[in-house]
Amino acid sequence: MKAAILKNKRHIEIQDIDIPSIKTNEVLLRVHYAGICSTDIKIFHGELPCKYPVILGHEFCGEAVEIGSEAKNIIRGDCYNVQPNLSCGYCIECRKDKYSLCKNKICYGTHVNGSLSEYCAIDYRLLYPISEDKTFEGTFIEPIACCLYALNRCSINIGDNVLIIGGGFTGLIFIQLVKLRGGKVCLVTRSDHKRALARSLGADLTCKSIPETDMDFDVVIDAVGKPETIDSSIRAAARGGKLLLFGVNPTEVTVPINPYTVWEKELVIVASRGNGHNHFGAIRTMSKVNITSLVSHVIDLEAFETISGIIEDENHIKTVVSFV
């Protein structure tokens, strides 16, 4: 099978390798579509850790073609979406039901091989059934689950004034989810194209940079994950507001913040990591969000070698690798 193997930092090779043999608890999925996440790009650039060599990719759907003897409730030929993080179930965090924080978590596409290959062996407990004609849209269940988890972490209320920093895929999903929750949304992005898209998706206001005059945001969502947005997020938050760190910063980065401002405003700073097992919620939300207008590129696996160029295009939002 063809697979995009990350050999080392910024070194991807498309290779022909053996189809993985499954363990008794695994299912072999023939991958239909795999979404490229900004986390994949950060791993590619060496900004986030992974285990080399690894096949990237954690947003995907496919068809079950082989089923291990211990895998329950999986039907050969049916299609599934994947929750790509396997928590251990026995560490202290798992026992507290904080599965996203499991110390022994195995992440497909980071620690073990993920979806940028024609086939992928997956623990059966991570599969969520979807209909065969929904495997393209279903590829976005995982990032939507991450957004739902993030919004649960900062509990947005009807009428809240919400600033979303970043007009990438998740920024544009956040607009729609915050509107569903009755919030008022301002989205910040430098891209004219993404601002227009944001307005068409329901943003009440869009800006090129964080507004310096209106600093009354009940919730500020950093959907970028770059150090330069942290200070302005703190400044933009209302007194008594919340700052949600969603975008992942590079591991080595530190930023100066003004603790007096955090104290003086009584800010709550929350982070969200992963999908918090929100896949069922995400599946039920799919029909309420516009996804197809957010897919800017559909490519085949060979083209993944040029992914850096695609991502740097200012109008890039979401790339999907198609295997069908």
Question: Minimum Å distance from CB 267 to Zn ion?
Answer: 27
CB-nearer residue toward Zn ion: 24 or 104: 104
Question: Minimum Å distance from CB 188 to Zn ion?
Answer: 21
Q: Per rule CB under 5 A, is residue 285 in the interface with Zn ion?
A: no
Among 3, 6, 31, 37, binds Zn ion (CB under 5 A): 37
Show the binding pattern over residues 63-102: x = contacts Zn ion (CB under 5 A), - = does not: ------------------------xx--x--x-------x
Q: Is 186 within 8 Å of 203 (Cβ atoms)? A: yes
How many binding residues for Zn ion (CB under 5 A)?
Answer: 8
DSSP secondary structure of 40-104: HHHHHTTSS---SSEE---EEEEEEEEE-TT--S--TT-EEEE--EE--S-SHHHHTT-GGG-TT
Rounded Cα distance between 224 and 226, Å, is 6
Q: Per rule CB under 5 A, is residue 139 in the interface with Zn ion?
A: no
Residue among 253, 204, 193 nearest 226 (CA): 253
Of 33-41, 71-79, 232-240, 312-320, the window that binds Zn ion (rule: CB under 5 A) is: 33-41
Distances (CA, A) of 316 to 139, 144, 167: 17, 18, 10
CB-nearer residue toward Zn ion: 168 or 241: 168
Of 32-40, 216-224, 299-307, 315-323, the window that binds Zn ion (rule: CB under 5 A) is: 32-40
CB-nearer residue toward Zn ion: 39 or 176: 39
CB-nearer residue toward Zn ion: 20 or 168: 168
Question: Minimum Å distance from CB 53 to Zn ion?
Answer: 20
DSSP H stretches of helix in the chain: 38-44, 92-95, 135-138, 141-154, 169-180, 192-200, 228-236, 259-265, 279-285, 307-312
Q: Is 57 in a helix, a strand, or coil?
A: coil
Q: Which two tokens stand for residue 301?
A: 């696996």
Question: Minimum Å distance from CB 212 to Zn ion?
Answer: 32
Q: Per rule CB under 5 A, is residue 39 in the interface with Zn ion?
A: yes
CB-nearer residue toward Zn ion: 37 or 237: 37
Backbone angles phi, psi at 316, to 5 degrees: -65, 135
Backbone angles phi, psi at 266, to 5 degrees: 50, 50
Q: Is 143 within 8 Å of 169 (Cβ atoms)? A: yes
Q: In the structure, how many helices (H) and strands (E) does the chain have? A: 10, 18
Question: Minimum Å distance from CB 199 to Zn ion?
Answer: 25
CB-nearer residue toward Zn ion: 40 or 160: 40
CB-nearer residue toward Zn ion: 143 or 183: 143
CB-nearer residue toward Zn ion: 97 or 266: 97
Q: Is 47 within 8 Å of 145 (Cβ atoms)? A: no
Question: Minimum Å distance from CB 89 to Zn ion?
Answer: 6
Query: Across the strands, what pairs with 112?
Result: 108
Indicate the helix (H) or strand (E) that contains 299.
strand 297-299
Question: Minimum Å distance from CB 45 to Zn ion?
Answer: 15
Question: Minimum Å distance from CB 290 to Zn ion?
Answer: 19
Interacting residues with Zn ion (CB under 5 A): 37, 39, 87-88, 91, 94, 102, 104
